[in-house]
């Protein structure tokens, strides 16, 4: 099965609503590697690496997010999986 790596920028009311913790839990449940972090501009950024069907399913989940979130837009770009460890982690704000 082919591996896919994408970078997401999630826009809307996505900080202060447990979006990062939710992302870690959802990504781990799908067997994905990568990371998630808040951005100073109010968005959330994530890198997802794993089997293409699992990545696509996670992208769809990110369009909704946790119950308290309001996702206005998810911007998606291909990326290289460099610097991604074996698991999925929450990084500090950048």
38 a catalytic residue: yes
Candidate list 7, 20, 37, 39, residue with the active-site label:
20
Candidate list 7, 38, 39, 70, residue with the active-site label:
38
Q: Which segments of the chain does DSSP mark as H helices, in order?
A: 19-29, 52-62
39 a catalytic residue: no
* 78-87 CB burial, b ≥16 within 10 A, e <16: ebeeeebeee
Task: Give me the active site residues, please.
Answer: 20, 38
């Amino acid at each position: 099965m082919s591996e896919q790596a994408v970078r997401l920028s999630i826009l809307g009311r996505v900080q202060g609503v447990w979006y990062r913790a939710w992302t870690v839990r959802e990504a781990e449940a799908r067997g994905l590697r990568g990371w998630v972090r808040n951005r100073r501009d109010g968005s959330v950024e994530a890198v997802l690496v794993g089997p293409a069907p699992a990545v696509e399913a996670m992208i769809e989940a990110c369009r909704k997010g946790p119950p308290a979130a309001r996702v206005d837009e998810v911007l998606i770009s291909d990326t290289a999986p460099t610097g991604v460890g074996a698991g999925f982690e929450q990084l500090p704000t950048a």
